[in-house]
Structure 1
Amino acid sequence: MNQIDVKKRSIGINFNKDGLAEVSIWAPLAENVAIAVNKKNTIKLVKDELGYWTTLTDEIQAGDLYKIQLDEKEYPDPASLSQPNGVHDVSKAINLRTLTVNDTGWNNLPLEEYVIYELHTGTFTPEGTFSGIEKKLDYLKDLGVNAIEIMPVSQFPGSRNWGYDGVFPFAVQDSYGGAEGLSHLVQACHEKGLAVILDVVYNHLGPEGNYLSAFGTYFTDKYNTPWGKAINFDDTWCDGVRQYFIQNTLMWFRDFHIDALRMDAVHAIKDFSPVHILREIKQQVNRLMEETGRTHYLIVELDLNDNRFINPLEQQGFGMDAQWIDEFHHALRVTAGEKRNGYYSDFNGLSHLAKAYKDAYVFDGQFSPHRKKFFGVKADNNPGKQFIVFSQNHDHVGNRMLGERTSKLVSLEMQKLMAGAVLVSPYLPMLFMGEEYGEPHPFLYFVSHTDTDLAEAVRKGRKAEFAAFHAEGEAPDPVAESTFEKSKLQWQLVKQEPHETTLKFYKTLIALRKQQLALSDLNRDHLDVEIDESKQTLLLHRWHGSEHIYCIMNFSKEKQNLSLPKYKKEWQKLLDSADPIWNGPAASPDIIPGESTVMIQPESFLIYKNFND
């Protein structure tokens, strides 16, 4: 493993404490490398070891615009920190030392306490900027979430994109507010007690403005991904590529004080090195944390039920701190009425939801008809804090043809039930922006490629993807600005019914999760679950010490009678999603005997508490 200096960024252009520019450009196959500064001054670089070209100079200042010359051709800097004129134009030198976030009293939250709120900067507020997010931090704090997850912000073409087409991993999107705007947002979040998770993409880069191949072997023909050639983590000249992404991880933590990274689709990272790139990233992050005393987490999106990714380094795992588990989402949505097609076809609803509560992975060695193979391993020894669950997220909303949110697909009662199913789980809960008040606007797929041929290819590809769904209408044009505008949250709704009451319901539910030890303690061993397929009901029992909580869920469209176990004390109701105060049809009793039957309304859930002492 290369001993990277974790205390500073050492690729691209960086400034030392004396204000001199330390330049290091990786271009192992180039014959000559130089930097053209402000279109008038050219600085030649000296060939160094392992394909790097370097110099130390006072001829580059923070704010200067520059390009890299490779054998007489000019390109933006692959490690650029700013692209003020877009992905095809000049890079801008930034002194990371001036971005230091003033948050000395902050050192992250314990992972098991995270209540996550996923948002997209461009559509979260009317401004579509980091400063726009800052204006909503008090709202988020009042909601009860304590960690915001920001979809990717690395520079992409144009100003409208989900962020997964980024081509400059180190440069913060200029239309959002750039590096300065992001660092200011992080400081503001920490002042409010909010952790910041940043979504990063280390499995591919977008097509437009991607000049990496001109510099070196960033991609390999050995493997294919859904986006084309795989990033080169184990082929010829891979060491410079590995350092590139390790340096990126360290920068977000060290220089921007990001608390956690959510790493996109790590199953698409192809690496057969003796030390997998994720494991090496974890090792280097551990070194950084030892140096700074700060805590950072690595969270992965993983479409493999393989706990090697989240097992500790000492168990020969990759050491990732947590992962998204889509299987909880799929089982929950099928239970709530989603059609069993596509990736939902493997899921039977209630019994798989019960298994997700107990085992995290639904498929942990069984045959998967959708994949047509035996799939998954057991995760019995992985604690609840290692799994993130949700009833919706950007993918499962935005990859629908019409981008419908849950609020447009199910009843208000079912929306509340699905929220309850997530927030009473023994895992880390995540909300998708606007979910908490039932935002009716879709979240559609949108891009703003400046390459007209590429934009047309994306447009045609999106139409072809949903060709079988034309009975439901045409797929919205992803290039049209109107598609982006339709995806923005409508903040005026939070003061209108039924949205205002839905928001209060979410606040109450989140607060309840935090207040009750039986819910906030993520001990997966202190959990039982019973289902009744005929009634479409699920009884989730969680406990902590003598405190016992029963979460009764009715996914049917009929009232159901259910029996609670015998206890010495009376059952006290904590929450009733069907209560009229939450715009529900009828409330269940506040107090019921220690052994009793309770009627639960259709598409609703009840939470009762007892003490067994």
Structure 2
Amino acid sequence: MTNVKIWSPAATTVSVVLADSGRELALRPAGDGQFELERPLDVGTRYFVRVDGGMKLPDPRSMCQPLGPHGPSEIVDPAAFVWHDADWRGTDLLGKVFYELHVGTFTDAGTFRAAIEKLDYLVGLGVDVVELMPLAPMPGERGWGYDGVSIYAIHAPYGRPEDLAALVDAIHARGMSACLDVVYNHFGPDGNYLAQFGPYFTDRHHTPWGEALNLDGDGADQVRRYLIDNAKQWLVDYHFDALRLDAVPHLHDESDYHFLAQLSDEVKELGDDLGRNLTLTAESDLNDPNMVLPTSEGGFGMDMQWADDVHHALHVWLTGEANAYYVDYTDDDSLAQGFEHGFVRVGQELQFAAAPRGSEIPEELSGHRFMAFDENHDQVGNRLISDRPSLKLEPAELAVSRALILLSHYTPMLFMGEEWATTTPFHYFTDHGPELGAMIKEGRKAEFADWDMASIYGDIPAVMLNPQDEQTFLASKLPWHELDDSAHRRMHDFVRALIELRRSDPDVGAGDRSRTHVHVDGRAGWMSRGQTVVVFSVSPTPVTVPAPVAGKEEVLAWEPTQATADGVYLRSPGVAVYRP
């Protein structure tokens, strides 16, 4: 049995309404704006919460919303989850290979149970960490998860809480770790009832997606507690090893003890208590190394942060695109700067961003503190036609891209399907009501109004699909049958070989940034990782790259290359790895 406890500081009365009978049970005041039910409810009981005789609402801390965010909450006992990972203590995730996936499009069924069937494939690929996009309930059947509500619950079409537990258990059984993407900077507009309970939101701060969470005003202590307890739920009740925190610059907090620092301190204490390695990764475009400095040194205490600059520099170098934020990465040295130092833009005047940002990363910080990728849900899905790089780039160019990411000193992440160069888009899809759905459709169009589509797509039809159309969602499902095609299988096998090299080569697997050197000359270049040298070219004509490979031999290549007295000769675009 589980008790119901509600925070509603301005309320006079709070009650539970049983969904099956309509019977109403009063909660008693428990101090500090809390109300609690005198007797716990049985597991499986469905109920609503009523504040001061108002409308029936879902429980803000409900672990299960079986009928969606507008429906009744259901009592769940996490102690009843079946686990086989009692000996699992986790591992250091810095430098490991992450794999981001969306549960709804990863398989045809789009469920937790169906995802379990693909885990052996991920093991064979060499994945260390399975990262799930957000799971919070959202209206309708489908969505990315970043407009979720009822954040303690999971999106019902994916499965029940015990199904999610089974997925994490299966991930651990195969020696992999589990990471969950969580959204604490805003909640979705549809099904968001928190304001009817208390001051969860503030008009002192704003986000691009709606009201900001109240992290530094009256009542903020309980709002912070709500979010931090949610993080602990995923780590304790569901055994996740890591959390990825969405868009942390929009966690607006002017208090003396920043929310991120408090979260970091409490998660580290939790890990010590559990005897498990727990990891926090922040998505931030501020280029601020304080994000990953310890709280004892005045930092935010995150273990890792996303390195968007690396993606942007690589994308511009490969595609020549210069729209929107890409305009700030067109300098000749952007690619080398990104792969050597992590932050490309540190204090310079920018054309796209409103103001200069960022500072240099301290030399002692490991490259493993920064997560690099050439695809992710944002960089694919937030394009007009949600196209993958494989739509325009040749396989050899994709091989260069994969090699630079996977052999870098960063923590690498793959986005589902990129390992076999799938051309299937990852569209932006929603299932809101007609009015909100129409607003989202028009808002998406407006985002791309200033983009020069001809320069991006050329003769490729560039028509944005309706996010509300179910076919937009279905068109985003991974086509696993592509692995039967020799060209896709070749890319898959090459990526697998890169991951194996990362594991077996101490120089490549190290995070020491001082031993990485990158030289780029036009459409070709080389990157040294200690004694290992990665030589690459996307030049349409043969090129000799003056890489330092004397005394080394080719151990992996997209196409065979030839070492010469002047460097390495590449007859066609591709990438090769040399080491002693």
TM-score by length of 1: 0.90
The within-5 A match list for 1:63-82 is 63-73=44-54, 74-82=56-64
Say whether 1:252 aligns with 2:241. Answer: no
Q: 1:308 to 1:124 in 2, by over 3 A?
A: same
Question: What's 2:481 paired with?
Answer: 492
Question: What's 2:529 paired with?
Answer: 542
Question: What's 1:168 paired with?
Answer: 150
Q: In the alignment, is the contact (CA less than 8 A) between 2:535 and 2:568 conserved in 1? A: no
Question: What's 1:12 paired with?
Answer: none
Question: What's 2:388 paired with?
Answer: 405
One-letter amino acid matched to 2:475: K
Say whether 1:575 aligns with 2:564. Answer: no
Q: Secondary structure at the match of 2:153?
A: strand
Q: In the alignment, is the contact (CA less than 8 A) between 1:112 and 1:385 conserved in 2? A: yes
Displacement of 1:539 in angstroms is 1.7
The within-5 A match list for 1:4-153 is 19=1, 21-38=2-19, 39-58=21-40, 60-73=41-54, 74-99=56-81, 101-153=83-135
Question: What's 2:561 paired with?
Answer: 588
Q: Secondary structure at the match of 2:527?
A: strand
One-letter amino acid matched to 1:356: G
Displacement of 1:349 in angstroms is 5.4
Give the superposed CA RMSD.
1.6
One-letter amino acid matched to 2:481: Q
Displacement of 1:497 in angstroms is 2.3
Displacement of 1:467 in angstroms is 4.2
Q: Secondary structure at the match of 1:241?
A: helix
Say whether 1:365 aligns with 2:347. Answer: yes
**How far apart, in 2, do the equivalents of 1:575 and 1:350 lie?**
27
- Percent identical among aligned pairs is 36
Q: 1:385 to 1:113 in 2, by over 3 A?
A: closer
**How far apart, in 2, do the equivalents of 1:375 and 1:318 lie?**
17
Displacement of 1:107 in angstroms is 1.6
Say whether 1:525 aligns with 2:537. Answer: no
Number of paired residues? 570
Say whether 1:281 aligns with 2:263. Answer: yes
Q: 1:152 to 1:481 in 2, by over 3 A?
A: same
**Runs of at least 5 residues in structure 1 that lack an aligned partner in the other structure:** 1-18, 580-586
One-letter amino acid matched to 1:453: E
One-letter amino acid matched to 1:415: L
| Higher percent of residues as strand | 1
Question: What's 1:431 paired with?
Answer: 414
Say whether 1:269 aligns with 2:239. Answer: no
The within-5 A match list for 1:148-547 is 148-348=130-330, 350-380=332-362, 381-449=364-432, 451-467=433-449, 472-533=461-522, 536-543=523-530
TM-score by length of 2: 0.95
Displacement of 1:106 in angstroms is 1.4
**How far apart, in 1, do the equivalents of 2:135 and 2:354 lie?**
36
Question: What's 1:8 paired with?
Answer: none
Q: In the alignment, is the contact (CA less than 8 A) between 1:299 and 1:320 conserved in 2? A: yes
Question: What's 2:458 paired with?
Answer: none
Displacement of 1:350 in angstroms is 4.7
Q: In the alignment, is the contact (CA less than 8 A) between 1:100 and 1:255 conserved in 2? A: no
**How far apart, in 1, do the equivalents of 2:356 and 2:449 lie?**
31
Q: Secondary structure at the match of 2:292?
A: coil
**How far apart, in 1, do the equivalents of 2:403 and 2:71 lie?**
48
Q: In the alignment, is the contact (CA less than 8 A) between 2:369 and 2:410 conserved in 1? A: yes
C-alpha offsets along residues 239-294 of structure 1, whole Å, 9 cap, x if unaligned?
Answer: 11110001001111011110100010001110011110111111111221121111
**How far apart, in 2, do the equivalents of 1:602 and 1:348 lie?**
24
Q: Secondary structure at the match of 1:308?
A: helix
Correspondent of 2:543 among 560, 570, 578:
560
Q: In the alignment, is the contact (CA less than 8 A) between 1:122 and 1:160 conserved in 2? A: yes
**Runs of at least 5 residues in structure 2 that lack an aligned partner in the other structure:** 455-460
**How far apart, in 2, do the equivalents of 1:334 and 1:83 lie?**
43
Displacement of 1:553 in angstroms is 1.6
Displacement of 1:109 in angstroms is 2.2
Correspondent of 1:605 among 567, 575, 580:
575
